[in-house]
Amino acid sequence: TLLSTTAAFAQAYPERQITMVVPFSAGGPTDTVGRLIAERMSADLGQQIIVENVGGAGGTLGAGQVAGAEADGYTILLHHIGMATSPTLYRNLAFNPLEAFEYVGLVTEVPMTIVARKDLEPTDFPGLVAYVKENADTITMANAGIGAASHLCGMLFMQALDAPIVTVPYKGTGPAMTELLGGQIDLMCDQTTNTTEQIKGGTIKAYAVTTPARLAVFPDLPTVSEGGMPGMEVSVWHGLYAPKGTPADVVERLSASLQSALADPGIAEKLGELGTAPSPAADATPAGLKAKLEAEIARWKPVIETAGVYAD
Q: Which is nearer to ligand MLT, 79 or 205 (CB)?
A: 79
Q: Which is nearer to ligand MLT, 54 or 258 (CB)?
A: 54
CB 194, min distance to ligand MLT, A: 7
CB 64, min distance to ligand MLT, A: 16
Q: Which is nearer to ligand MLT, 14 or 154 (CB)?
A: 154
CB 156, min distance to ligand MLT, A: 13
CB 143, min distance to ligand MLT, A: 6
Q: Which is nearer to ligand MLT, 25 or 86 (CB)?
A: 25
CB 171, min distance to ligand MLT, A: 7
Q: Which is nearer to ligand MLT, 34 or 105 (CB)?
A: 34
| 3-class SS string, the chain | CHHHHHHHHHHHCCCCCEEEEECCCCCCHHHHHHHHHHHHHHHHHCCCEEEEECCCHHHHHHHHHHHCCCCCCCEEEEEECHHHHHHHHECCCCCCCCCCEEEEEEEEEEEEEEEEECCCCCCCHHHHHHHHHHCCCCCEEEECCCCCHHHHHHHHHHHHHCCCCEEEECCCHHHHHHHHHCCCCCEEEEEHHHHHHHHHHCCEEEEEECCCCCECCECCCCECCCCCCCCCCCEEEEEEEEECCCCHHHHHHHHHHHHHHHCCHHHHHHHHHCCCCECCCCCCCHHHHHHHHHHHHHHHHHHHHHHCCCEC
Under the rule (CB under 6 A), what is the footprint of ligand MLT?
24-25, 28-31, 80, 82, 144, 148-150, 172-174
CB 168, min distance to ligand MLT, A: 13
Q: Which is nearer to ligand MLT, 108 or 255 (CB)?
A: 108
